[in-house]
Structure 1
Amino acid sequence: MPSKTNQIVTNAGPLVGFWEWDIRNRQENISKSLAEAFSLQHPFSREEGAFWKTILSVIDFQSFIELRADASRKKQADIISTVLQGITALGEVATLEIQMETVAWNDSGEAEKVIGYVAINKPGLSSASNRLLRKLTEHVPGVVYQYQYLDNGLSRFPYASDGLWDIFEHTPEEVRADAASVFDRIHAEDLDEFIQSMLNSYTSLNPWKMNFRVVLPSKGERWIGGSARPEQQPDDSVIWHGYMADVTHQKKIEQELVKTNKDLQGILNAGSQISIIGTRVNGLISHFSKGSENLLGYKADEVVDKENLTIFHVREEIKLREKQLTARLGKEVEGFDAIVEMARKGKHDTREWTYSRKDGTTFPVQLVVTAITDEHSKIVGFLCVATDISQMTKARLALAESEERWQFALEGAGDGAWDWDLAKGSIFISPKSKKMLGYASHEVRNAPEGWAKLIHADDVPTYQKNLDEHLQGKAEIYSTEYRVLCKNGEYKWVLDRGKVTRRDENGRPLRIIGTHSDISQAKEKEKALKSTIDIIGEQNRRLLNFAHIVSHNLRSHSGNFEMMFKMYDVAEDDDERKEMLAHIRTISEKLSETIHHLNEVVMVQTSIDLQRQNINLYSFAEKTREVLTANISSKNAHIANNIPRDIVINYNAAYMESILLNLLSNAVKYSHPDRDPEVRLTAYSEKNYTVLEVADNGLGINLHLHRDKLFGMYKTFHPNKDAKGIGLFITRNQIEAMGGKIAVESEENRGSVFKVYFL
């Protein structure tokens, strides 16, 4: 027992507790007050040295062990004193005055028991405060911690909440004295950066923040996000107070979004000779496709977030458009608004403009401007798709020049001429007119029937009608284009124009003079021009259709993402969150597939024929149902897919996806408020068609009022704020582009049946 004369005298602070070293049994007993002073549980481990290893640094621990050994070698009750630095479980530094003495020996004079006393000037948080802190942190995802780096290169976690296990799969007790095992968990590729970031914070005392990977024994690779604020301690060590959390699922979503953005940029860059430019609402360029670089000579990094769309437009054209819109709308329209004002009003503005390249040269384009809206229908930017129409413009000018030549021919400078004396019934056909067809002068009689019999039978009615109307005074000038048989058996196109030069007192024609012009080459040019215009028109229609598909289809996926994330945020347990993540993963996969199909659509914009592939109609319908999982769940809808599983259609995949998505989403969206949506899909053969039926029990449509405008653009038939009036318009155009047709049967408050006929 300690001597009464050996009372502890300390300047460090009040007596906190005592400890006892049982040398023979190699155990230690720590008093309750001493354990709680360091925010540790009582009874603490009786393992020899365990308590001191927990609260002391490695150097101080070794010093204490040596002093304790000295005390055990004393042959009489002499007190040994020392002052050391201790750290509570909450990371507070405390100054300890430790006194110890041997109080029991065996018969051989060997020490059997040492008793010590501890005084402390800063006992740390009370056990009640410790319990409060742990209660506050036990339900916080992640770990609240204190990390200490000592000047001898060692580190430790003086305090860590139980969430440490979720981050590193270590308990707070395992890293309280030494944090080395934590570094073993950090991914090898991130370890150097992690250590360097900690050293930078240590030397500068700036806050530390980093995302890094760990490799855990049970969970495998995970992403961790951490942040902490450093604080210099009196002993020159640094303690960080911080927080870490598992951010793996956020990181995966970020990676998927990066991939999606890259895929979408790939779509924008697919049309190498089509300019696709995205702008913000003020006209600042936000996207600049590869085709824009090719056509305009700028690189994307020269204009994105730096220039306004007006940089490519001829100023005089913008000024003219400003005046037109200002007069038309009754308000001042200036600058960029002159290009997008009609799109801002919800219209797809298609107009010819002149674009200016970086080198100053110009070329004509046909520009389609579409507003880009967010999920609340607020305009967030504009999509501007421009096609170079230089060839079409040249052809148009050539045709105008030909028209001028024809006018000149009508005035007397034609290739051939004719003079018909109606009073005498005789006609003069010039040798040039005959030579034009390969005939000698004597081979075509100078009589009305001599020329008329050479006219192609299909053109005779038009020829006769136009001539009669002019002779009767109904048309100021006679003009007809028709085919005439040449000597070599081929037909040549001729422009036959004339005018009555003399009439009698009753207005009856007496003489008509005219010209024959060979317009075969002009007809070929016209044919080529029409073909070019048809091709460009078809390409523009597809581009506009593609813009609709991007806006309409991606909005469905975006809406699904938003709904799933909202459901994830309010999920009550991990099972629900896992289910939500599974749905998010499915939607992400379907989004990737949609982007793949959209990319295929872009690749065929410069081709006349849409690419086709064999599509299993049942499987495609199932995929569409998966895409609409969130909408179906929110409406408590039931989709019955009764399509025979062996029906295969040779069709364009992007169009098929868009058709099914529009019909199914409409069936769910326009459900009747008094009953759960029931949607039934069936398919069968009818003549040369495969017919798909999509039947629902929704609101239905009044076909007596709306049948003629059912498939029109921007036509809506129910007061639904999300209705855009685009879906059925797109659907019909896609079906007809593939040679099919669509029909509908509907009754208000009973439902609708849409029938798609696939050729």
Structure 2
Amino acid sequence: MKPNLNSEIIAVIATNNEGIIYQFNEGAEILLGYSASEMIGLKTVNSFLVDKEVKKFKKDIALKYNSKDSDFDPYKLLAKYNGYDARECTIVKKDGATFISLSTLTPLINESGKNIGFIRIIKNITNQKHIEAELLRKNQVLNSAEKITMMGNWQWNLITNDVTWSSNLYNIFEVHPNKKLTYDTYFSFVHPDDKALVTNSVEKSLNDKFFYDLLHRIKTTSGKTKTIQLLGELITDKAGNIIEIIGTCQDVTEQRMAEIKFKGLLESAPDAMVIVNELGNIQLINKQAEKLFGYHAEELINQPVEILIPQRYSHHTTHRKTFFETPKTREMGEGKELYGINKKGKEIPIQISLSPLKTEEGLLVSAAIRDITFQKKAENKILQANENLELLANKLTSQNIQLADFAHITSHNLRAPVSNLNSLLDFYKAAKSEEERTILFDKFETVINHLTLTLNTLIEALKTKDGRSKPMELLSFNDVLNKTKEILSGQILKTNTKIVCDFSEKPNIKYNKVYLESIFLNLVSNAIKYKSKDRTPEIFIQSVVEDGIEKLKFKDNGLGINLERHGHKVFGLNKVFHRHPEAKGVGLFMTKVQVESMGGTISVESVVNEGSTFNINFNK
């Protein structure tokens, strides 16, 4: 037979990363009422947790680690930061009964630093919670209860030194009612360690003619140590001489013990605790609060709580009054950054939980204050890391764009000269005289030189980030066309292409050399590539200035494009409109990107079997 449930039994439950239980100790069997065989490999911890509290756990973890993802796994997040979670929660036993537990959740990390699961330790604290609740209740009603049951009155005649006690006072001191009493009788019961305190207090009261309340210990006849509270009033004669002192004596032993326990609980709290009354004055603080704010308790007692709050929170007084009107346990400033200020004036990032505490003397508020400086530093490091990653990502993206741009330009712009070399090679093989071969060989040399220059220029272009940042220079349209004709000389000869130009209106332009040469090469080679079989290819290139806009027009008599069918994708990547073995759908896309990156636009007019005209506006 298993022992009865008690607070000494500890449940140890281990789960893997999927939440499946693989260890369920005997303590867990006793506390939860399940056998290990019922749980191991079959159940998760959620089977005995309350859904509402599981959601609260997830919310707390999100807040603790600043997670904005609504679908995050709190267990994985806890493991990521190698944290732990300790909280009070409700446990549902197999028979449906519940109890309050202290549950501690800790990630299991192997030697490689990898999370392999979690271990949960559960302790029944139901009795402890009942004791705590009872302690608080007693603390609230102790004053009124003891005034009725544990109080006596006394009189001290200073002329005769006789002392008179009420019957209940005899009970407090455990003295026989027939015993003759004097001041010395009372003083003989004073605790040895408190005799100096009592002597000094009485002498001060007599000298000042004002009775100072006195709290001290006594040793009763049976040897018990009690704590008593003395309140009194001095009576004088007409001459002002003190002739008698009357007062009350209250046995506050239990109250004192309760205060000691309460302070013990307060001191054992991991957070700084500050207790404030309805006026906003500090009534009690613990050592953690002293450490956090740098004050001694004596410096803060009865001081306004605003002494611990930066001046910019001037609205705090209004918020405090509102809380006292509708007190309830809650976290203060949820979703906001809160700060306290220490004795040296340094601001401290904090989290605050407020709890109301009703007493006979009025409503008190207990503030649990947690220093989150370390957490804020961690958050800032994460934010900084994210910013650095974002900068790196942007840099890599920019570099990838540059590489892609370079790859497209290189592969496409080198294809034309290579094709031209093949054409020249065909002419060279067909040449019948040495003179023809010499002329063709000179053309070989020219094309190869241009090819080398193009490669070097493209490599230099890779060093810039975008079209607007590329180097600009004054270029001659005629020079660019001549270079294009030299690069494409083989194809021009092979197709008998006629190229006519008119650059008289606008002979020069300030532009990026790589882009302008690429634009010419793409549009001229496209006109030759898509020539009509029925006529000799003709290309007319003209530069003009219309309405202040610099323009360049490329007109051909080739196959033309069905704009009704293909107009929306003329400049798309990998879009082709004619069957041709060298059609890749890259040239027009690159031309559009280059023109637009320099702040211009490009459009096309075309009629099938008549030809096309490409219009470039260099500025919008």
Q: Per chain length, whose mean CA-contact separation is higher, i.e. which structure has more relative contact order (CA < 8 Å, sep 6+)? A: 2
State the TM-score bracket (shorter-chain normalisation): 0.3 to 0.5
Which of these two proteins has the greater Rg computed from alpha carbons?
Answer: 2
What's the TM-score, normalizing by structure 1? 0.32
What's the TM-score, normalizing by structure 2? 0.39
